[in-house]
Structure 1
């Protein structure tokens, strides 16, 4: 990895568009374990932060399936990542430029994360 890559990664982790789930992706891809463990996205806002991180680091986007090894939530979400990405992009855009509520994305995430309750 180039010095530019490490600079971009360092800048991202201290930026404002972070959350526990996107930090979990960052940590896994950087080869470290978050102090509080890995957290999966729990709602469309979390998902959006993860998707925007992966837009900034496209080399990680192709490795998202690896996150399935990072806990129960990731095991449920990672196999459906492309579906969730497309659903959110269509519904509100990953930057929320098309709207301010993502009920279809939220419903699908709930169904994946809580199959017994959904």
Structure 2
């Protein structure tokens, strides 16, 4: 008998709003698809490759809080996602310190980018 799969996150009005109007990229779409079961990707799974990608993923998790609670399940997507989940808090702190206005599209994050490269992004 195979182990039961974790339940998918129900789709809220916040999730529908993100689908319609959110800042989307393949890595944030991968989070949405993996956690909800609704295909939002353009055909392949991806992880964030730079701070701009990371920012889109962070916005998704802020705008759709129920996905944040299931985020640890992203470890199942790939070894890189597993490392990202483990480092998410540190990457977020680094990004916030380097570019406090990243949500407004301002600032650069070279240290965050270097750390992302160190973990395989």
TM-score normalised to structure 2 length: 0.78
Match for residue 95 of structure 1? 103
Residue of structure 1 in register with 2:29 after alignment: 23
Q: Do residues 47 (structure 1) and 22 (structure 2) align?
A: no
Query: Is 17-26 or 84-93 further displaced after alignment?
Result: 84-93
Structure 2 unaligned runs (5+)?
A: 1-8
Aligned mates of 1:60, 1:53 — CA distance in 2: 8
Distance 1:77 1:2, change over 3 A: closer
TM-score of the superposed pair, with normalisation by structure 1: 0.80
Higher RCO (Cα < 8 Å, 6 or more apart): 2
Which runs of 5 or more structure 1 residues have no equivalent in the other structure? Answer: none
Q: Which contiguous aligned blocks of 4+ residues in structure 1 show a shift greater than 4 angstroms? A: none
